[in-house]
A and B are shown apart, each in its own frame.
Chain A
Amino acid sequence: MHELKIAEELIGIIKEVAKTENLKKVTKVNIQFGQMIQIVPDIFRCVFEGGVKGTVAKRAQLYLEILPIKVVCKKCRIETELEELLFVCDTCGSNDVELIQGREIIIESIEGEKQQETVSRKKQAVCS
């Protein structure tokens, strides 16, 4: 259930950005997980939906992308995208490879709607 802690941290970042950017609501969240993180998307959605209740992101749609595992060979320097968990260079067969993709837990972007200018609203209130 690392999904829970990751969702908590994610929601914290969303709230912070929404505040800084003066968003009244967040409509979309784009997140990327490396395949090595072994996230279960349904569990992640479930804990995310529970966590955003009552927040600026309560109706946000979650777009979750899984990034495949990529390694680079330390001998021939050629990259391989792994189709199965075989940490071996496709080109020269060496197992001296370095992981270059697959451990990501990245919030890519959010989408939302800005708050209306509170200053102009205040002015209107005074005029009326």
Chain B
Amino acid sequence: MEIKIMKNVLDRNKNKANEVRDLLKQKNVLMVNIISSPGAGKTTLLEKTIGNLKDKFKIAVIEGDISTDRDAQRLKNHGIPIVVINTEGGCHLDSHSISKVLPEFDLDNLDIIFVENVGNLVCPSHFDLGETFKLAVVSITEGDDKPIKYPMLFREARAILLNKLDLIEYTNFNKKVFYNDLNNVNGKIPLFEVSFTKNEGVDQWYNWISSQISSK
């Protein structure tokens, strides 16, 4: 006998994500889910962005890491609340793990939570964490083919950071190919060309993220 089900397999994750989203909305806290390959510069982006914004906004970080707390150690000097989620081999965070750690923050006293997802361009894109929006980070050294290979992330993200622009002359990264593919996948997405280690192009990003926080 056949039993019709017609159910989203990730419903359990989606329902918990909606609970997280409702709570954050009620507390007026923005949550940004940062997704990139390993080594694209997520932690450096956070180090620099927190340094720039921490006098204006109350910031917290959830660090998703496969097995260490090294990324969290790098952010410690900023004196902001940080919680580490070790996925113990898991290739992405999910809404249940986020929901479990939220009580560790004083949500009434926060403007924004940055979530550094596990470095991976595929899996994290499929798991809603209850974030306000996803931010895609891609770096010059990864090559120019990322938007066409991982369309889900580039369709779903609200903005893109193209990092390590200072290294472009040492690679065969073709900006024309990158922008053409990106335009085919998502022609309307804001993109910031930056080098966080050299502090190049970062002001536009700081202005954009500040405006997102201010208009929440």
Interface residues of A (CB under 8 A from B): 1-2, 5-6, 9-10, 12-13, 17, 21, 23, 28, 31, 36-38, 85-88, 95-96, 99, 103-114
Contacts and interface: CB of A to CB of B under 8 A. Distances in A.
B152 A87 contact: no
B185 A109 contact: no
Given A2-B92, A37-B152, A87-B155, A105 B3 contact: no
10 contacts: A5-B94, A10-B9, A13-B7, A37-B152, A38-B152, A95-B184, A107-B5, A107-B7, A111-B1, A114-B1
A41 to B, nearest CB: 15
A10 B12 CA distance: 11
A108 B69 CA distance: 41
Q: Which 4 residue pairs spanning A and B have beta carbons closest together?
A: A2-B123, A95-B187, A105-B9, A86-B184
A71 to B, nearest CB: 10
Nearest to A113: B1
Interface of B: 1-10, 12-13, 90-92, 94, 122-123, 126-127, 148, 150-152, 155, 183-188
Interface of A is mostly: mixed
Given A96-B188, A99-B155, A38 B6 contact: no
Contacts of A104: 8
